[in-house]
Amino acid sequence: MLSDSMSLPLTIFTALAERKDLLMALTDRLGRIEWVNQAFAERTGLSDDSLTGQKFFTALGFKSQLNVQQTYIREQLLKGESFKFELSYQTHDDRECWLLIDGQPIRDAEGITNKYAVMSTDITLRKLTEKDLEKTNQELEIRVQQRTVALTQEKEKLEQTLQQLQKAQLQLIQSEKMSSLGQLVAGVAHEINNPVNFIYGNLTPATEYTENLLHLLQCYQHHYPNPIPQLKAEIEATEIDFIIEDLPKILSSLKVGADRIREIVLSLRNFSRLDEAELKKVDIHTGIDSTLMILHSRLKVKSNCPEIRVIKEYGQLPLVECYAGQVNQVFMNIIANAIDALEDLVMSEQCFIIYNKATDKGHLTNGYPTIRIRTKLTEDEQVLICIADNGSGISEEIRKRLFDPFFTTKAIGKGTGLGLSISYQIVVEKHQGQIECYSELGKGTEFIISIPVKQTKNNKE
């Protein structure tokens, strides 16, 4: 039991001074020790006597404080203010320890600091736990970073795979489209080829036989100028003179027709080139011509559109090493787009068709709808194929997206938006060439394709 009011702080002080984990000291105003508790003395390994008069920090064995701490303490002592900071130090048995040092000024009656009560708590355990936590945190952070890198790589890989898949899908769609067209064309060409050869092969003997028969008839007429009345009537009824004159004409027009069909069949086969999946040296002009042949019906005069003129300005080209079927697809896509653009212009009310009654041909107010195809060989052994139309042209905004897969300005069902992206792949990736588009609104569009005459070794593999 406590008897008077003074004994309470004294008891508390005694209890605190006896604690093993609390280092207590009383110093003068410059930090020189005047009294320490037992825990303090034990920590330093020195006796009370030898501690008296020593600087507080030296006594604890702090070799050197950090500059910032030194400055801070010095300033606080000079001002006679309290100080509080954490300090790490090496113990005499070489352990790292931490103390929280808290110095409170003891002031005289005038308020001037003449002593300090310094309490130091061992916070080594807390510090070690904090260190452990920090280490764990750092390890975690490293692991998170490593995981993030791995995930990013994974994501990039997935994106690449997705892109490859999309590309493959595009190619599949387009090659399916083109191969159906190619197969159809090749099938039709094959079916027509036999009968037309049959007709063509028989036309020459048929012409010869006809000539012989006509000659024989003329001989009869010459030697028997006056046949019996019955025969005479028959001759008049059959208009034999007209037949003699007309039959050779019919036969020669049959030959012209058969020739034309043979040409068409050849073009169809040329276009499909199903048998030529390999790199081959081909005549580019034959490819363009066969493509135009396939598109012939779209170029002809129609009820709502005048004929689309095709002007060819072919230069001297060597045979070009390429995947012919694919290059023809490019011509097909670009010429078909030009036809679409010209038809669109006619349908729009931006221009009028002026028909010439005498020729039954029409032209647009801004000229005949025309596709101009130029070819030439450049000095660096590239073949240039320029396909231009005088349609409505392409705005800058659309031009930037032309080669994007699935980009189309056409109505649903009319365009898939794949034509140019596939053409780009065929020219640029498959043939190491280039494809560029120049266009001016209201004037027209030109696509310039360049393909090297010879493919590099890498590209052949």
Ligand X SMILES: Nc1ncnc2c1ncn2[C@@H]1O[C@H](COP(=O)(O)OP(=O)(O)OP(=O)(O)O)[C@@H](O)[C@H]1O
The residue behind tokens 């660096």 is 380
Q: Which is nearer to ligand X, 189 or 420 (CB)?
A: 420
Binding part of the chain for Mg ion, among 104-112, 347-355, 392-400, 411-419 by CB under 5 A, reads 411-419
Instruction: Choose the contact partner of 445 out of ligand X, Mg ion, none; CB within 5 to 8 A by kind.
Output: ligand X
Among 419, 424, 434, residue whose Cα is nearest residue 337: 419
Encoded one letter per residue, x for contact with Mg ion by CB under 5 A and - for no contact, window 262-301 reads ----------------------------------------
Q: Does 337 bind Mg ion (CB under 5 A)?
A: yes
Count of beta carbons in the 10 Å neighbourhood of residue 378: 11
407 HSE (CA, 13 A, CB side): 12
DSSP letter string, 421-455: HHHHIIIIIITS-EEEEEEETTTEEEEEEEEESS-
Binding-site partner at residue 417 among ligand X, Mg ion, none, CB < 5 to 8 Å by type: ligand X
Long-range CB contacts (within 8 A, 24+) of 120-127: 120/22, 120/23, 120/24, 120/25, 120/40, 120/60, 121/21, 121/22, 121/23, 122/21, 122/23, 122/97, 122/98, 123/86, 123/98, 123/99, 124/96, 124/97, 124/98, 126/98, 127/86, 127/88, 127/98
Residue type at 229? P
The residue of the chain with the least Cβ separation from ligand X equals 419
Task: List, in order, residues 6 or more apart from 233 with CB less than 8 Å away.
Answer: none
**Can you give the binding site for ligand X, defined by CB under 6 A?**
333, 337-338, 341, 389, 391, 394, 398, 402, 407-410, 415-421, 445
Nearer to ligand X, 341 or 385 (CB): 341
Asked if residues 361 and 307 have their Cβ atoms less than 8 Å apart, the reply is yes
Q: For ligand X, give the closer residue by CB, 264 or 371.
A: 371
> What is the token pair recorded at 169?
């899908």
Return the amino acid letter for 140.
L
Q: Toward ligand X, which CB reaches closer, 102 or 343?
A: 343
Instruction: Give the position of tokens 């899908």.
Output: 169
- For the bound state, the minimum distance from the C-beta of residue 442 to ligand X, rounded and expressed in Å, comes to 12
Task: Indicate the residue among 94 and 397 with the shorter CB distance to ligand X.
Answer: 397
- How many other β-carbons are positioned within 10 Å of the β-carbon of residue 447? 25
Cα dihedral 45→49→53→56 (10° resolution): 30
Cβ atoms of 51 and 59 closer than 8 Å? yes
Of 325, 329, 334, 318, nearest in space to 279 by CA:
325
Query: Minimum CB separation from ligand X for residue 277, in Å?
Result: 23
Q: What is the DSSP letter of 305?
A: B
Q: Give least dist CB 388 to ligand X, A.
A: 9
Q: From the CB of 416, what's the least distance to Mg ion, in Å? A: 8
CB of 404 to ligand X, least distance (A): 8
Minimum separation from the CB atom of position 297 to ligand X (A) = 17
341 binds, among Mg ion, ligand X, none (CB under 5 to 8 A by kind): ligand X
Distance CA 55, CA 255 (A): 127
Q: In whole angstroms, how close is the CB of 173 to ligand X at the nearest point?
A: 9
Measured from the CB atom, the residue of 44 and 416 that comes closer to ligand X is 416
Figure out which of the listed residues 306, 391, 419, 444 binds Mg ion, where binding follows CB under 5 A.
Answer: 419
Report which of 357, 382, 385 is spatially closest to residue 371, judged by C-alpha positions: 385
Give the shortest CB-335-to-Mg ion separation in angstroms.
Answer: 10
Least distance (Å) between residue 311 CB and Mg ion: 21
**Residue closer to ligand X (CB basis): 278 or 397:** 397
- Residue 391 found at the interface with Mg ion (CB under 5 A): no
Is position 329 an interface residue for Mg ion (rule: CB under 5 A)? no
**Residue 418 near which of ligand X, Mg ion, none (CB within 5-8 Å, type-dependent):** ligand X
Give the nearer residue to Mg ion in terms of CB position, either 306 or 419.
Answer: 419
State the minimum distance, in angstroms, from the CB of residue 170 to Mg ion. Answer: 13
Nearer to Mg ion, 393 or 419 (CB): 419
Nearest to ligand X of 361, 399 (CB atom)? 399
What DSSP letter does each residue of 23-85 carry, written as one string? EEEEEETTSBEEEE-HHHHHHHT--HHHHTTSBHHHHHT-----HHHHHHHHHHHHHT--EEE
Residue 410 contact partner, candidates Mg ion, ligand X, none, CB within 5 to 8 A by sort of partner: ligand X
Stretch that binds Mg ion, among 122-130, 321-329, 413-421, 451-459 (CB under 5 A): 413-421
185 closest CA partner among 100, 128, 264, 132 = 264
Binding site for Mg ion (CB under 5 A): 337, 419
